Structure formats: C-alpha cells, structure tokens
C-alpha cells in the first residue's frame, strides 16, 4: 500500500535540513544533505505510520498540499510517496496470524494463473476496508 503525505523541509542556518510532517504529530527528522533529509523523512514517516497501525489506531488523512503552511521562509513543501507494504515486510515485528478463508473456485483458479499473492492482496484489502485507505493514493 502506497500513501502520499506532505513534508515540510527547512534549510538550517548551520547546514542541513530539518523535516516536519504536519499530519504525523511528532514526526520530525533531519539530514545533512537534501538527499539524506528525504531518505530520513521517508524512514521516519513510515516508522510512524507502521507504529500507528500496530497500535490499532487509524492513520491520519494527508493534508491537501494547498492547505499546508510553512513555519518560516526557509522552507518548502514536498510530497513523499511512502510504500507502507514494503516497509512493514522489512521492519514489522513479524507477528503474523494464520487465517483460513473460503473463496469461489473460479476466482482461486484465475488468481493462481495470474500469480496473485493471496496474503498481500488480503492485507491490502483489509487495510483499505479497516482504515478507509485507498490504494495508490
């Protein structure tokens, strides 16, 4: 599942960049270069989002870009594409629950022919249904 959130980047007087996410309360990071700041921002935001989901809370809706306000003139706003599915596979606490389910035979055959990953598909569908998060937003 991929999500898009705005991030506010601020060039620091001493050098480097700080990054604040207006929708992710307390999610702040920094980097010595712009590239490092972007990488750190992605990691910080993904960690924040995964922790929120694992705590059973709803994800906050991302602000519209036009509604995001900068704290000072040394900043700019950038949208970050965050791949929560890949991040959770890599960093989740590896707590899984086995579920048995039933689907129509024809759907099973079609999905297997198309090499659909059943576990990933169910996870994405559950996230969409439970947290009202649209895929590819």
Position 135 in a domain = no
Domains held by the chain: number: 1
CATH number of the domain enclosing 64: 3.30.160.250
Position 51 in a domain = yes
**Domain boundaries, position 51:** 2-93
Position 131 in a domain = no
Give residue 35's pLDDT: 96
Per-residue pLDDT tens listing for the chain (137 residues) = 789 999 999 999 999 999 999 999 999 999 999 999 999 999 999 999 988 988 888 899 999 999 999 998 889 999 999 998 888 877 766 566 778 889 999 999 999 999 999 888 988 888 777 766 554 43
- Distance of alpha carbon 107 from alpha carbon 79, whole angstroms: 37
Position 48 in a domain = yes
Give residue 136's pLDDT: 44
- Distance of alpha carbon 121 from alpha carbon 127, whole angstroms: 10
Position 23 in a domain = yes
Give residue 131's pLDDT: 62
Position 37 in a domain = yes
Pairing of strands 17-20, 28-31: antiparallel
- State pTM to two decimals: 0.69
Give residue 137's pLDDT: 37
Alpha carbons within 13 A on the beta-carbon side of 75: 17
């Amino acid at each position: 599942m991929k999500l898009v959130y705005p991030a506010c980047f601020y060039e620091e007087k001493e050098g480097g960049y700080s990054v604040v996410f207006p929708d992710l309360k307390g999610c702040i990071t920094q980097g010595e270069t712009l590239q490092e700041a972007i990488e750190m921002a992605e990691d910080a935001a993904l960690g924040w989002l995964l922790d929120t989901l694992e705590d059973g809370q709803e994800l906050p809706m991302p602000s519209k870009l036009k509604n995001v306000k900068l704290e000072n003139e040394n900043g700019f706003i950038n949208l970050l594409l965050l791949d929560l599915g890949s991040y959770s596979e890599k960093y989740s606490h590896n707590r899984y629950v086995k579920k048995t389910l039933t689907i129509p035979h024809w759907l099973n055959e079609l999905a297997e022919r198309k090499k659909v990953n059943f576990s990933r598909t169910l996870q994405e569908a559950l996230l969409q249904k439970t947290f009202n998060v649209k895929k590819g937003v």
